[in-house]
Amino acid sequence: MGDDVAARLARLEDLEAIRQLFVDYGFYLDHGDFDAYGRLFADDGEVLLGPIGRATGPAAITELMSKTLSGRQGHSYHVICNPVIQLDGDRATTDVTWVVVTRTEAGTPAVTMLGRHRDVVVRQRGEWKFARREGHVDLPSRYPS
């Protein structure tokens, strides 16, 4: 019985750590902390974000996001929801929905983009990291002017 409880607890801890990875992803983007954002990826992790671009490895991912999104912090807010996580030892596949909310000229919130990420996450040196993060836009962007 003890081993069963320990295994169940370890599974719950892994699931929660992966969910936190999703939250951190949105938080670091919204706050423009692209160094912390890059550290969410495994050593050979890759990000594929359609028209934004693609990059491999934390340093290249940090550079891509800095070049693409610098100066936009505080203009968007990522809402991360509906995570589906298929855990398999030190690896998991995931699907998560994201919504981007921005402020209109009138100061009211507007949903400007909706999509999902299909991911592969891995445990690397005891931490869950993105091995592959592939973004899909279901409703395209329209940033308020």
Amino acid at position 120, single letter: V
The answer as to whether 129 is a domain residue is yes
The answer as to whether 22 is a domain residue is yes
The answer as to whether 99 is a domain residue is yes
Backbone φ, ψ for residue 74 (5° rounding): 85, -5
Sort 24 into a burial class: Cβ within 10 Å, 0-12 / 13-18 / 19+: middle
Secondary structure letter of residue 141 according to DSSP: -
Average pLDDT of span 1-28: 93
The answer as to whether 20 is a domain residue is yes
> Average model confidence (pLDDT) for the chain?
90
Average pLDDT of span 64-84: 84
Q: Nearest Cα to 40, choosing from 121, 108, 113?
A: 121
Q: Which residue has the higher pLDDT, 71 or 108?
A: 108
- Provide the domain limits for residue 32: 2-139
Q: How many domains does the chain have?
A: 1
Average pLDDT of span 45-60: 91
Give the pairing type, strands 91-103 and 109-124: antiparallel
pLDDT 10s digits, 87-140: 999 999 999 999 999 888 898 999 988 999 999 999 999 999 999 999 998 887
| CATH number, position 19 | 3.10.450.50
The answer as to whether 91 is a domain residue is yes
- For residue 114, how many other CB atoms are within 10 A of its CB? 15
The answer as to whether 144 is a domain residue is no
Q: Nearest Cα to 130, choosing from 49, 10, 13, 67?
A: 49
Secondary structure letter of residue 32 according to DSSP: T
What's the rounded Cα separation, in Å, for the pair 36 and 1? 40
The answer as to whether 145 is a domain residue is no
The answer as to whether 95 is a domain residue is yes
What's the rounded Cα separation, in Å, for the pair 120 and 80? 17
